[in-house]
A = this chain, B = another copy of it.
Amino acid sequence: MDEKTPTQQVTEWLDALGTALSNRDTGAAAELFGEDCYWRDLVSFTWNIYTAEGHDSLREMIEQAVIPSGPSGWQIEGEANLSNGVTEGFLRFETRVARGCGHVRLIKGRAWTLLTTMTELKGHEERKGPTREKGVEYGVHPGRKTWLEQRQKEDAELGVTVQPYVVIIGGGQGGIALGARLRQLNVPTIIIEKNERAGDSWRKRYKSLYLHDPVWYDHLPYIPFPEHWPVFCSKDKIADWLEMYTKVMELNYWGSTECKRAQYDETNREWIVEVVRDGEPLTLRPRHLVLATGSLGMPDMPSVTGMETFAGDLHHSSMHPGPDGYAGKRAVVIGSNTSAHDICAALWEEGADVTMVQRSSTLVARTDTLMDLTFRGLYSEAALQAGITTDRADLLFVSLPYKTLPAIQKPIYDEMQRRDAEFYARLEKAGFQLDFGEDGTGLLLKGLRRGGGFYIDVGASELIADGRIKLKSRTGVERIRERSIVLEDGSELPADLIVFATGYLPMNSWVTRLISKEVADKVGKCWGLGSGTRYDPGPWEGELRNMWKPTHQEALWFQGGNLHLARHFSLFVALQLKARMESIPTPVYGIGPVHHTS
């Protein structure tokens, strides 16, 4: 055994798996996994996003989902490698109806993690490269329509005389990425966006907003950002890109259109979606409805005694225009996560007198340290030079089941605290309440569990540490007066501007608003893993709730996340929808009960 190369080991393991599954021998297949084992499947066998954890769960999934799908053609992709006792490699495989790729990690010859993801449906492959369309028919064809005439016809008919198969509510990166995938799969789709133009949801944010994630992490499918793009991108530059992308990907993007109400017609198995487009009411009847209304729900604007009496400007961070005109003014920002920090820093740069009110502790990570410790291996120039393309990085990213993440993430944040100890000491000295997640597992897990609670520092922390941004910590808002804000600790801050950087309601608040409370409760909470930490109550679910996979409401889907998640998971949502459109059987395995309604 020891003399085998990593590639031989993975090849033999895959051969053995293939043989066991062909023989329908669940026991033999399960024997290939170690005691501590995971098989994560994105759509290919389960028509779900599901992780089997441990042998019992694994056997059940193999028997009920994997073997019935007719898996075959297990092959290694490229070379495997060995590091820290783990042999790992990429792989590909097929089922009766689809092709997939994945990744496996072996410890002492048995699998610790196996990832399988669907890449395409047989007979419905995207046409590209060698299979691209010719674009124009040779010969003469009376009545032929040009590309423009076809586009104009579709634009005139879809949603009017021809119903789309899918309606996506929300035209940010989530809706756009999914719309692009569906267009390439020939699934008639309309994207509805209340803003006028694609990109407006970025344009309307505070002006100093730059992406806190680096460019390599943020690509959309099909058209990567050019090589000369900066590492961190302005919101307006991303906005322009989204607008261009929507146009050249030929999406049916309805700007200035608001969804008023959606109702599922059980009899006809279609949605009745009432929209107002450019002021005109219109009813759409798609077979599937996708909510891509943002990673989070609607702005969470607390009700504070006396806020209606405030004489200055008062708004939620989502409505904050930026610092212009606030020079010399007294600003109070409630909150201490990303938006709060960005807004405080921009106001300070403009010359305002700024106070941040920190109600609870925040995870702060310095951008350079974060890039080095977390992004560098997967999304960076260094990764690209090591052959880790965006596609490979995306696979590696999802190859570690959520259950394994805490043990992997905690050492990263231990190292971060060591490396930036002096920085953190100064922040704490200024009164800032720091955390690194309840269990010290850091930013990624905090994001997955509760969708926020952090700031990637690009400068504001320094202003807080040295007192240029004043800090009120361990307190909250008691009441608002005409020209001041009173905190729970009894202090009163004179104010011309109050910004509530208080976050967003849960994502399924949109379900309540657009569909019904009943459907919202049936579907339950979105996001979160059931980690049993704050804002993420148990029981453990193993995967993010409701995202990118079938829900308890037939034909209702959730698409969301940052640019990375929008890019990668839009593939799985698109394949699930395409399979349904083509009447390919999609037996869903492992859909869990709803534990929390919001």
Contact = CB atoms under 8 A, between A and B. Distances in A.
A310 interface: no
Contact of A147 (B129, B139, B237, B385): B237
Nearest to A144: B349
A462 B139 contact: yes
A459 B184 CA distance: 28
Interface stretch (A239-247, A290-298, A516-524): A239-247
A133 interface: yes
A350 interface: yes
Nearest to A223: B226
B236 A128 contact: no
Interface string A198-242: 000000000110100001000000110011111111101100110
Most buried by B among A133, A228, A367, A384: A228
Interface string A504-516: 0000000000000
Contact of A146 (B151, B231, B232, B236): B236
A142 B229 CA distance: 25
Contacts of A210: 135-136
A155 interface: no
A229 to B, nearest CB: 7
A480 B132 CA distance: 47
Interface string A99-130: 00000000000000000000000000011111
Contact of A138 (B147, B228, B367, B384): B367
A136 B232 contact: yes
21 contacts: A126-B228, A127-B228, A132-B230, A134-B232, A135-B229, A135-B230, A135-B231, A138-B368, A138-B458, A140-B345, A142-B349, A144-B349, A146-B208, A147-B233, A147-B234, A147-B236, A147-B237, A148-B234, A184-B228, A222-B226, A223-B226
Contacts of A463: 140
Nearest to A244: B244
A143 interface: yes
Interface in A150-209: 151, 184, 207-208
Contacts of A143: 349
Contacts of A462: 139-140
A129 B184 contact: no
Given A128-B227, A135-B210, A231-B135, A247 B240 contact: yes
> Contact residue range for chain A?
35 or more
Most buried by B among A210, A348, A385: A210
A460 interface: yes
Contacts of A227: 128-129, 132, 222
B230 A136 contact: yes
A121 to B, nearest CB: 16
Interface string A400-443: 00000000000000000000000000000000000000000000
Contacts of A232: 134-136
A304 interface: no
A386 interface: no
A590 interface: no
A1 interface: no
Interface in A427-485: 458-460, 462-463, 468
Contacts of A127: 228
A141 interface: yes
A79 interface: no
A381 interface: yes
Most buried by B among A140, A229, A460: A140
Given A132-B229, A135-B210, A223-B226, 14 more contacts: A130-B381, A130-B385, A134-B232, A135-B232, A136-B458, A140-B460, A144-B349, A146-B207, A146-B208, A147-B237, A148-B234, A149-B207, A226-B248, A244-B248
Interface string A348-372: 1111000000000000000110000
B248 A136 contact: no
Contacts of A126: 228
Contacts of A223: 223, 226
Interface in A527-573: none
A146 B184 contact: no
Contacts of A184: 228
A151 B139 CA distance: 47
Contacts of A240: 247-248
A370 to B, nearest CB: 12
Contact of A128 (B134, B144, B228, B458): B228
